[in-house]
Amino acid sequence: MVDKGQFKTENYREHSTVCRSYKSLGINVHKFGGSSLATTEQLVKVCDIIVNHTKPGDIVVVSANGDVTDRLIDAAHGRHRSVLELVEYFRQLSSGLAIDADKFLKQLGNDIEDIKVLCQQQPVPTDSILAFGEIWSARLLVYLLSSHQCTAQAVDASHYLKLTSLHEYSQFDEQFAEANFSSLYESTLNHLEPNYARFVFTGFIASDNCGKLVTLGRNGSDYSATVIAQLVKAASVTIWTDVDGIFTADPNIVSNAQRVEHLSLCEAQAISELGANVLHQKTVTPLLTYKTSATIKSSLLDHSHGTQITQHPTSSGQVKTIAAKQALVRIVINNINELSARTVQQKILLNQIASYASNFDRTLDRLTFYVAEPDRFNCISIIQAAQFYPIVEKNNLSLISLVGQGIRQNHKVISKFIERLERYSIEEIHYPANAHTLCVLIEDEQAITLLHDLHDTFFEREPSIPIVVLGYGNIGKQFLRILKDNKPEIESSLNRSLSLLAVANSRHYVLSNNCLTRHEDTVQLLGDDRDTENNSYDNKPLIQSNLNNQLLNALTDYSNKELVVIDLTASEEIANLYGEFANNGWHIISANKIAASDHKLASHIEQIQTQKNRKWLKNTTAGAGIPIQSSIKKLKEAGDTILSISGIFSGSLSWLFGQFDGRKLFSKLLLEAKDNAYTEPDPREDLSGNDVIRKIRILAREAGFFDAKENFEPAIPDSLLQGDLLQFWDNSSAIDEYYAELYQQAKSQGGLLRYIASLTKQELSLKLEVIQPDHPFAILNPCDNVFAIRSEWYKDNPLILQGPGAGREVTAAGVLNDLCDLLRSVA
């Protein structure tokens, strides 16, 4: 064990005459974790912190360096290679420090020999072996402090911390501690030399009531620090770790998590009961007893502000942090009375197993609780040893918990919490005994999404409805690009954060709460033809096959919950799924014209959407970003009557015939339009009139022209549309001859070729016409659509709407407008 040794004191005349108790010195306790002591660089930082942030007489508590405890466990289990690894680790660690490394390594060598002897005993005294980790850490730090002219003394905590019962870790012998701490500080109070010591205590270790060395289990060093603080009535406790305090969520999961500046002891206790890595439950217990202040800081940062924990709250009814505990299993014990249930839980606790969300049902004599997956076997063994028969009811569950002083008394917090949960498949809502926590159990698959959702709700902007984008072609890519590039402005305008859940094309889909921020990866993956069975390359978002619309199966958890499906495909198969989308209670935004142009299907979908209070927006199905549909709707709502609608409804054919002047082959212009995404992927959809016919039917439904006869002519002879797409392009010479002849005919009449639609109650027509240069439809910008609305109010002077009607940018922007309108309307 570490010898207490001698220490020196600074001039302390005022205390030697005034103070007679070490408790009046205003001792501060500082604890440094293993991660803060793992490397040479980190040890030097810790040394600087002690020199600059402590005063003589303060207590420093240390964990074992790095993963030394794990290696000692391996050694205790007979894996002798770990002993050699320990020696090499400390050789490298000490060689970079300004200390007498040879002296330290010689002492280490002697200790290693002792460990080898201990490993031969039966049973192996594991606690005695593990204690060496803290001993070496304290010794090494004392050497380093001494090299910085900072007098320090290594102290064996087992000479001060004596458990009165192994069955209750919070019970220490206070008289034993009082006597030994008084002895330790006696010379400090009376010594007149100029420098007296900091005391570097070993964490993790104590003695039992027989004087035998024992360890304090998980987070034992933090526990040592707060227990020592309680026993010496310390002015403060600072726990130095590798993170800068408590955050609003785990920053490794939620990248925009914020540091929490202040927690009350009640909030700290609630966090610790939820299995927080930074703040263990038994660490908080002494703070509650003594009610001293504590601070959690980072030893890795040059300027750490940390989180302060005090007795009194600075706010009430506000969520301070959201804790997440994943990979839990639900254990149920039936036919157990309440007293036996408490006894079983106590035994589980004494075996260093944390349980969560415990609930005893008196009417059914049933105990339900959750433990971490690695603790499952030990927990079941303990229960069986108590003559009960546990059932592992479900695994792969997560506990997500809101924590804040008195939040259960804030109805707004509870209402918002419940509202967000409605979008997820929840296993259980749990209300702990304290009034500072709200908990929910959910499957691991949805846990991280819910965590982000709740974090945005309570610390950022409330998340919008989850968004699913179908179609990752020209328009889809452009839509996601502008969505990502304009995310801050959109969220500010909506006062809600965007929540992109999934993106899919006909081959693959990506399902992730991070689709938007990982846009570049999505671009790569959805254009990737690699085997999707191995979904683990390059740490990219998880992708799955979507050859048979498997995405729909992945979205079953969202059935009858608000979700927005944005269809940016030209797929008839997807259009036929609209009825299923509607029955699932999902909003729909369409750039795909197929469903909207089918009167029977569109009426069916609209009927369901009305019944379910959901919306179907389809403004880009005619006119791209031009508000033609909304204009018709507003005129009708205001009491006007639509008489006719005419114009050029195809941006692609507007561009084609506007550019076609007889000097460049029509097929070359057509290919150029396709490459610029002015046409549909199959240009025959445009030349056949099919694309415009769909728009005509969509606008006819909006205007109320339900019984009009149809008279549609293609912009190209049917004979040139036959066969497959490759055959169509092979017919380029015939196509060019046909349009060259049409151009000459129009030119001989002094006119221009335009593909014009006309809608009245009596007839819907579409044909390629020759118009004069002074016609309103003659002079258009490339890709422009033009719509002329005649109504009772605009009979003699039609309402003209004109603007770009083709191109990925304007269509994507129009879809984004629809999305923003929808999100505003359902806020």
- Spell out the domain ranges in the chain: 13-242, 321-456, 463-624+815-825, 628-806
Token pair listed for 748: 């001989």
Which residue ranges in the chain fall short of pLDDT 70? 1-20, 166-170, 187-196, 513-542, 827
- For 609-652, what is the HEC assignment? HHHCCCCEECHHHCCCCCCHHHHHHHHHHCCCCEEEEEEECCHH
User: For strand 293-298 and strand 307-310, is the pairing parallel, antiparallel, or unpaired?
Assistant: antiparallel
Closest CA relative to residue 58, chosen from 45, 67, 49: 49
- Tell me which CATH code domain 628-806 carries: 3.30.360.10
Q: Is the dihedral of CA 53, 58, 63, 65 positive or negative?
A: positive
Which secondary structure element, helix H or strand E, spans residue 101, and what is its range?
Answer: helix 101-120
Q: Is the dihedral of CA 576, 581, 583, 586 positive or negative?
A: negative
How does DSSP classify residue 63?
P
CB atoms within 10 A of CB 433: 7
Contact 788, 646 (CB under 8 A): yes
Q: Is the dihedral of CA 383, 387, 388, 389 positive or negative?
A: positive
What is the CATH T-level fold of the domain 463-624+815-825, as seen in this structure?
A: Rossmann fold (3.40.50)
How does DSSP classify residue 67?
T
Closest CA relative to residue 436, chosen from 454, 410, 462, 400: 410
What pLDDT score was predicted for residue 9? 32
What pLDDT score was predicted for residue 293? 86
User: pTM of this prediction?
Assistant: 0.66
Closest CA relative to residue 234, chosen from 10, 52, 53, 25: 25
**Dist. CA 89–CA 108, nearest whole Å:** 11
Q: Quote the Cα angle for 430-270-410, to 5°.
A: 65
Closest CA relative to residue 201, chosen from 89, 58, 101: 58
Token pair listed for 73: 């466990």
Q: Quote the Cα angle for 388-393-397, to 5°.
A: 125
Contact 144, 47 (CB under 8 A): yes
Contact 729, 720 (CB under 8 A): no
Token pair listed for 711: 């008279």
Q: Give the three-class secondary structure for 474.
A: helix
- Tell me which CATH code domain 13-242 carries: 3.40.1160.10
What is the CATH T-level fold of the domain 321-456, as seen in this structure?
A: VC0802-like (3.30.2130)
Q: What is the dihedral of CA 685, 687, 689, 691, to 10 degrees?
A: 40
Contact 815, 822 (CB under 8 A): no
What pLDDT score was predicted for residue 782? 82
CB atoms within 10 A of CB 44: 15
Token pair listed for 532: 């999707």
